[in-house]
């Protein structure tokens, strides 16, 4: 069976997957090759990490708060209010911290990456790099992927912590759950493994959304309209890919 | 015939069903200014991008310094590209960097020069194109002509042996246009480099050109010195040159 007998949307999908895979491998190779372009990476770390703080702050806190509220409603029915703390903590560290951080940062930073690189493509700035014998992947893609790989776990830790703090606030201060029960069970049952695996997932999500966004930007065609299309596709594909990868990673890691 | 640095043999390129280049044959001499003229949409920019390997042809050969480049890998091409500078039609400045940083970029990334040395060279280039006082502005904050001049400074900053210019004077007023074509001529004379210039500015460019090539219908229909081209009997060339003469009616009356 030749590739041409496959229907055209499927063929396009396979081609794109292949190109994105190639970009990933080139990225990994170039990331370890000198010159390392540290200043480019630091700049992207600031953009992906520091500038995402407000968004992560809000989503983390409110997610923890609403989790406490919802589990209180359920657990109260059989007098298990004392388990609210550990439920919130496990949900945040294992699942919601990394996933929500991944989705929010993909929306914020991923769209910007696709739009910026897409604009550079349609205004021939990428060609200008090529003409100077400079590898555009090294200058544009590697710093973004490396920065996202390192910053997402950091943001996730913050989100985890804020989520638990938000849960504590609602459960202990608002709903009068016993403070000792809330905290003790967290100390006792939350394992380092839970946090660590969440951070591994977060790092993977960072690579996924930044690579998808850079890829979409890099292969943009057709002026301003093309940039708009790439940006939308980057965010949609990043989010779907994060959710799919979340399932796969969870089933592999835990 | 002089020393040939770029030799294009039977180059063909189509986009979808549109034949853009249909058998280009052209030899570009070392240390000369070759000007390529032709109607808008005739494929001049596409031809220039082939020479530097940004576009791969459907068929045909391009020899640069005795190497056939159309089948080279990206890595081998990068070696060839070190000999080139290029000014893009839309300047293609990096819009996250100031004008100064744009011009300094090739020096910072490609050389090991000291900071002071880079500053000296960049300031000198910006001075030549009249942009020194706008050096700290972003590309989005300057006019089209200023972008073009910054792009020119960037293309020339490493003094590469071959420079490709895509319409260096198209966005400029007549005075600035003269200044820039003089600058191109002057740097070329001084450094004995090979320049390939695309231009609609017939009058300005015929002044500085060593050779002129006319692109029409996907082929080079005429090639020669500016004098030879301007007395050509070919109707396409005559039409093209006559149209540009209308602009200089005032100044040309005494000559006729
Ligand atoms: N990437 C591309 N995809 C499809 N068609 C293209 C592409 N690039 C150029 N073309 C087509 O090739 C033709 C030649 O384009 P080119 O940009 O070389 O013209 P030009 O001679 O530089 O014109 P101008 O003087 O207006 O700049 C045009 O008809 C254009 O539509
Ligand atoms: Mg053009």
Give domain limits for chain A: 18-29+52-249
How much is the pLDDT for A210? 98
- Looking at CATH, the fold of the domain delimited by B1-83+162-167+198-256 is given as Rossmann fold (3.40.50)
How much is the pLDDT for B247? 54
Ligand 1 atom at minimum distance from B16 CA: 4
**Distance of CA A218 to CAs A78, A107, A114, B195, Å?**
55, 18, 8, 30
- Residue B236 CA, ligand 1 centroid: distance in Å: 20
Round the average pLDDT of chain B to a whole number and report it: 91
**Distance of CA A237 to CAs A55, A141, A155, A192, B132, Å?**
20, 17, 21, 31, 45
How much is the pLDDT for B239? 85
- Choose one of B12, B13, B14, B15 to mutate for the ligand 1 pocket test, by most ligand atoms within 8 angstroms of C-beta: B15
For B181-234, how does the pLDDT look when each residue is reduced to its tens digit (9 = 90+)? 999 999 999 889 999 999 988 888 888 999 999 999 999 999 999 999 988 888
Does B174 have pLDDT greater than 80? yes
User: d(Cα B201, Cα A217) in Å, to the nearest integer?
Assistant: 35
Question: Alpha helices of chain A — where are they, by DSSP H?
Answer: 8-31, 38-48, 53-75, 84-90, 97-105, 111-122, 125-131, 136, 142-168, 179-189, 192-218, 223-253
For B16-32, how does the pLDDT look when each residue is reduced to its tens digit (9 = 90+)? 889 999 999 999 999 99
How much is the pLDDT for B232? 86
Contact B109/A at CB under 8 A: yes
The closest of B29, B48, B49 to B37, measured between CA atoms, is B48
B17 in contact with ligand 1, CB cutoff 6 A: no
How much is the pLDDT for B235? 87
Q: What's the complex ipTM? A: 0.91
How much is the pLDDT for A11? 85
Does B79 have pLDDT greater than 50? yes
Give the whole-number percent of chain B exceeding pLDDT 70.
95
Does B252 have pLDDT greater than 80? no
Alpha carbons within 13 angstroms on the beta-carbon side of residue B163 total: 26
Does B254 have pLDDT greater than 50? no
Residue A60 distance to chain B (closest CA, Å): 32
Q: Cis peptide before A198, with omega less than 30 degrees from 0?
A: no
How much is the pLDDT for A98? 97
How much is the pLDDT for B234? 87
Tell me the chain B residues in contact with residue A130 when contact means C-beta distances shorter than 8 Å: 54, 81
As beta bridge partners, residue B8 has: B26, B62
- Residue B74 CA, ligand 1 centroid: distance in Å: 23
Does B250 have pLDDT greater than 90? no
User: d(Cα A118, Cα A109) in Å, to the nearest integer?
Assistant: 14
**DSSP-derived secondary structure for A96-119:** IHHHHHHHHHIIIIIHHHHHHHHH
Of A119, A131, A135, the CB nearest to B86: A131
- Block mean pLDDT (10 aa), chain A, length 254: 69 89 94 90 97 96 96 92 94 96 97 97 96 96 97 98 97 93 93 94 97 97 95 97 96 84
How much is the pLDDT for B2? 64
Domain regions of chain B by residue span: 1-83+162-167+198-256
With a CB cutoff of 8 Å and minimum separation 6, the contacts of A147 are: A41, A44, A45, A47, A48, A49, A210
Ligand 1 atom at minimum distance from B43 CA: 18
What's the whole-number mean pLDDT along residues B87-109? 96
Structure token pair of residue A151: 């910053």
As beta bridge partners, residue B61 has: B9
Q: Specify whether the CB–CB gap between B153 and B103 falls below 8 A.
A: yes
Give the whole-number percent of chain B exceeding pLDDT 90.
75
Contact A223/B at CB under 8 A: no
């Amino acid at each position: 069976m030749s590739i041409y007998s496959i229907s055209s949307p499927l063929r396009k999908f396979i081609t794109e997957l292949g190109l994105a895979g190639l970009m990933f491998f080139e990225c990994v190779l170039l990331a370890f090759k000198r010159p390392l372009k540290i200043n480019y990476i630091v700049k992207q770390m600031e953009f992906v990490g520091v500038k995402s703080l407000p968004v992560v702050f809000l989503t983390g806190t409110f997610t923890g708060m609403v989790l406490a509220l919802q589990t209180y409603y359920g657990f109260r029915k059989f007098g298990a209010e004392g388990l609210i703390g550990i439920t919130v903590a496990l949900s945040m560290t294992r699942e919601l911290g990394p996933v929500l951080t991944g989705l929010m940062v993909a929306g914020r930073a991923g769209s910007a990456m696709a739009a910026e690189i897409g604009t550079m493509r349609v205004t021939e700035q990428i060609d200008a790099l090529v003409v100077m014998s400079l590898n555009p992947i090294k200058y544009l893609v590697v710093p973004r992927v490396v920065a996202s790989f390192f910053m997402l776990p950091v943001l996730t830790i913050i989100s985890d912590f804020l989520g638990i703090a938000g849960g504590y606030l609602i459960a202990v201060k608002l709903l009068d759950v016993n403070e000792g029960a809330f905290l003790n069970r967290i100390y006792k049952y939350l394992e380092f493994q839970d946090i660590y695996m969440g951070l591994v997932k977060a790092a993977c999500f960072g690579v996924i959304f930044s690579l998808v966004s850079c890829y979409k930007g890099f292969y943009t065609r057709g002026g301003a309209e093309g940039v708009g299309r790439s940006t939308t596709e980057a965010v949609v594909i990043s989010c779907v890919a994060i959710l799919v990868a979340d399932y796969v990673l969870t089933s592999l890691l835990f | 015939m002089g020393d040939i640095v770029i030799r294009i043999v039977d180059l063909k390129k189509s986009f979808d069903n549109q034949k853009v280049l249909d058998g280009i044959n052209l030899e570009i001499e070392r240390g000369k200014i070759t000007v390529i003229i032709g109607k808008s949409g005739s494929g001049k920019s596409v031809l220039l991008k082939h020479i530097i390997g940004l576009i791969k042809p459907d068929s045909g050969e391009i020899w640069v310094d005795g190497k056939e480049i159309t089948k080279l890998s990206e890595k081998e091409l990068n070696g060839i590209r070190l000999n080139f500078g290029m000014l893009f039609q839309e300047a293609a400045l990096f819009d996250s960097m100031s004008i100064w940083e744009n011009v300094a970029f090739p020096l910072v990334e490609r050389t090991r020069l000291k900071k002071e040395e880079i500053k000296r060279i960049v300031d000198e280039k910006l001075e030549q194109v009249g942009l020194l006082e706008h050096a700290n502005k972003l590309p989005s904050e300057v006019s089209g002509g200023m972008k073009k001049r910054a792009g020119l400074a960037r293309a020339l900053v490493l003094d590469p042996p071959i420079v490709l210019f895509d319409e260096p004077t198209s966005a400029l007023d007549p005075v600035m246009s003269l200044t820039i074509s003089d600058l191109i001529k002057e740097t070329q004379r001084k450094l004995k480099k090979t320049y390939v210039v695309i231009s609609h500015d017939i009058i300005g460019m015929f002044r500085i050109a060593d050779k002129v090539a006319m692109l029409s219908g996907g082929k080079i229909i005429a090639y020669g010195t500016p004098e030879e081209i301007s007395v050509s009997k070919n109707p396409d060339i005559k039409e093209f040159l006559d149209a540009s003469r209308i602009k200089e009616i005032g100044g040309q009356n005494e000559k006729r």
